[in-house]
Amino acid sequence: MEFEISSHTKTVIKNLLIPEGKIRVFTSGIAFNAEPLVPYAKTRLPSKLKNNPSILSFLSYLFHLKPLMSFATLSNRLVSEIRQSLRNIEQKYGRQDLLANILSSFTLEQTTNLALAGIGISFSPNNECCWAIKEMESFIMEVYHPDEGTIGKWKFPPCTLGIPLFNPTELEFIVYVFDPMDYLHPFMVEAGAICMGSFSGSSSLQQIARLPDLCSKLIQLFSYAEQILVSGYRLEGEIEPAIGIFDPIFDKYRIFIK
């Protein structure tokens, strides 16, 4: 589904970043309006001007810099504008400001951290809920026998993992395969949830639950889901997989047989 940002919001954001007929310069955490003074290409720039912090030389022109607002103020105005726009979108689609609340609960550092970990936040109109999502590349699962070593390898297709977010502070510690909904894997149960086996009720889960912020919880929870899907299969153990890896339905993924 595509959301349309109103033309008013686009104009406000454009004017904040690139005002009509002016050049905006961001330096030392301040946004400046740069007004062209004179071309200087054929003359040497006097050192007095060179060292003047309100003078900028760029593209053979001298510009006079007029401080407007700090970068933090500018960011806040942009976030506020985008948040208002998201509210309008959510009201239109029947869900009050959940996505806006979740997105605005992250600091700039946390947003960067999530992006670095490949995690995005998405609104699903189908179940009126937000999802933290992470793409998982195709991966090879290797199964070992205690005496014989590697006895088989299966190459699983890519998928998108998802964690539902019903509000900005609470998290259910369940990871789903968000897409495709009928993903085939030994640890998949009905409704696309991943059987997290020994992780459920473990000290690792308790440790994640104690983490102070949603961002760290999401990163850790996705990491454990990936670990379990890729390298969490054991031939013998107290925990049985939902479907054994030697079931014929996995034959199409098998790339190595001993």
Partner 1 sequence: MVSETILSRSVLGIRYPLSRDPIFVEVTDPSKTIENILIETVTELEKAGKTHEAFQLQQTLADHFPFVKGQQYSKTHQIGVLPFQEKILEGETVYYTEVNFLKEHVGG
| Selected binder of partner 1 within 227, 251, 252, 258 (CB under 8 A) | 227
Of 163, 139, 171, residue with least CA distance to 222: 163
In the chain, the amino acid numbered 81 is E
Of 8, 5, 17, 222, residue with least CA distance to 121: 222
Does residue number 226 form part of the binding site for partner 1 (CB under 8 A)?
yes
**Helix or strand or coil: residue 184?**
coil
Does residue number 151 form part of the binding site for partner 1 (CB under 8 A)?
no
Does residue number 116 form part of the binding site for partner 1 (CB under 8 A)?
yes
Does residue number 105 form part of the binding site for partner 1 (CB under 8 A)?
no
How many alpha carbons lie under 13 Å from residue 113 in its C-beta half-sphere? 13
Closest distance of CB 40 from partner 1, Å: 27
Residues contacting partner 1: total by CB under 8 A: 42
CA distance 105 to 109: 12
Query: Which residue, 100 or 159, is less far from partner 1 as judged by CB?
Result: 159
Does residue number 158 form part of the binding site for partner 1 (CB under 8 A)?
no
Cis geometry, peptide bond prior to residue 164 (ω within 30 degrees of 0): no
| Selected binder of partner 1 within 57, 198, 253, 254 (CB under 8 A) | 198
Does residue number 224 form part of the binding site for partner 1 (CB under 8 A)?
yes
Name the residue with tokens 């014929």.
248
Query: Which residue, 46 or 158, is less far from partner 1 as judged by CB?
Result: 158
CA distance 167 to 100: 10
Name the residue with tokens 């995690």.
119
Name the residue with tokens 């369940």.
174
What count of other Cβ atoms lies within 10 Å of the Cβ of residue 192?
19
Stretch that binds partner 1, among 49-57, 63-71, 73-81, 202-210 (CB under 8 A): 202-210
Closest distance of CB 207 from partner 1, Å: 5
Does residue number 199 form part of the binding site for partner 1 (CB under 8 A)?
yes
Would you say the C-alpha torsion 79, 86, 193, 151 has a positive or negative sign?
A: negative
Query: Which residue, 103 or 225, is less far from partner 1 as judged by CB?
Result: 225
Does residue number 135 form part of the binding site for partner 1 (CB under 8 A)?
no
Closest distance of CB 246 from partner 1, Å: 14
The residue length of the chain stands at 258
| Interface residue list for partner 1 (CB under 8 A) | 109, 113, 116-117, 136-137, 139, 186-187, 194-199, 202-204, 207-208, 211, 213, 215-216, 219-220, 223-224, 226-234, 237, 239-242
